Amino acid sequence: MVDMEFTAWFGKIKLDSEGKIEDCDFFDKDPEKLAKLVVELEDDVQAVPLKRADLRDAALECGFVELDEEYDILLRDVCIRAAKSQISQTDTDDSRIIQAVQALDDIDKNVNELSERLFEWYGRYFPELDMTGEELARFVSAYGSRANVPEEHRLSEKASQSMGAELSFADEELLRAFANNICSLYDTRRYIENYINTSMGSVAPNLCNVTGASIGARLMSMAGSLQKLAAFPSSTVQVIGASRALFKHLRSKAPSPKHGIIFNNPVIKNAPWWQRGKLARALASKISLAARTDFYSGELSPSIKEALDRKLESIRRANPNPPKRELQTKPQGKGGKKTHRGKRKGGKR
């Protein structure tokens, strides 16, 4: 074996032909600097055919440390700092948007369940109230008992003639607190939604321009990142969010899905059924191009949206009417007569 040199986390070590250490060039013993070097060298580690596989022995023999305990303490500190540095590098702009989208989904799930509970609970005291969701939560938070509804309110007559049970003071305070929490969730949802709309304009301007901030952020969330979305072919982008229909198509003879969550885009949602497949393909193609442009350049390219609009308009002009469906005829028996299968008299066929 010829002489060789390799880089350890604490310095450069030169070995002779027998694997013994000839020379050592130590790095600075500062844990912060060593952690940065570890992160930089992580993907550029040389395979070292050491007869001594333990770097601890090499560090002791070279004199980098004097005791095993000193080696362990320093290595632990360096590893913790390197891990923190790598975690901070994963906190990118698109990852924050993805977390916001997932938080939005969690809020929607919880607020729907809580609003339904408030509807059933408050309905025992004011069954004539035709409110649900945020409107109901705001009403309960503002007035509590139906007896507090002012005369000028549009529901004052219903409140005065309601056949619901009487609401005690303790129950009223509890319902108001419960409604306040639901209102707070609605406010938080609105704040997160505004954050997503604002962030998407700077992180993925082309994706936001093509499909809208909400759908673009959800596509990134389902893909995992803007980088992964940019790597997807347009055929995959087209069916993101339609995994159940896609697996059903692969397992059985069910028709293949024409679109996933991009269906929520008004371009497809408001289109006639016979145009949706072609429109979805065109939209998915431009979404894929927009994601790649955002990831590699980050600059807004209006030509992508303009080309999409032209393509969509050409599809609409070329397909103004639904296609004619062919009539399916039943198979005929011998002599050109239709055959009928049924039971004969006596129960035999």
Q: Residue 252 is encoded by which pair of tokens?
A: 């059985």
Give me the residue spans of the domains in the chain. 4-89, 93-197, 204-318
d(Cα 258, Cα 274) in Å, to the nearest integer? 11
> Quick one: which of 216, 207, 206 has its CA closest to 240?
216
Residue identified by tokens 């056949």 is 163
Alpha-carbon distance 281 to 334, whole Å? 46
Look at residue 186 in the predicted model and tell me its pLDDT: 96
Percentage of the chain modeled with pLDDT above 70:
86
The pLDDT of residue 219 is 95
Partner residues linked to 221 by β-bridges: none
**204-318 — its CATH code?**
1.10.246.90
More confident residue, 327 or 41: 41
For 300-322, what is the mean pLDDT?
A: 93
Q: Tell whether domain 4-89 is in CATH 3.30.420.220.
A: yes
Whether the pLDDT of residue 87 is over 70: the answer is no
CA dihedral sign of residues 147, 151, 153, 155:
positive
DSSP code, position 263: G
Helix 93-122 and helix 213-223, axial crossing angle in degrees, nearest 10: 110
Least confident residue range of 54-68, 138-152, 197-211: 54-68
Res. 52: pLDDT tops 50 = no
Tokens 């003639």 identify what position? 161
What is the CB neighbour count within 10 angstroms for residue 44? 7
247 vs 217, residue with greater confidence? 217
The model's pTM: 0.68
Per-residue pLDDT at 175: 95
Helix or strand (DSSP H, E) at 112: helix 93-122
Angle between helices 68-89 and 31-41 (to 10 degrees): 60
| Residues 294 and 204 sit within 8 Å (Cβ to Cβ) | yes
* Class level of CATH domain 93-197: mainly alpha
Residue type, 335: G
Share above pLDDT 90 across residues of the chain, in percent, rounded to a whole number = 56
**pLDDT exceeds cutoff 80 at 330:** no
Q: How confident is the model over 212-228, as a mean pLDDT?
A: 93
273, 322 Cβ separation under 8 angstroms: yes
Higher pLDDT, 26 or 132: 132
Helix (H) or strand (E) holding 191: helix 169-203
Has residue 47 got a pLDDT over 70? no
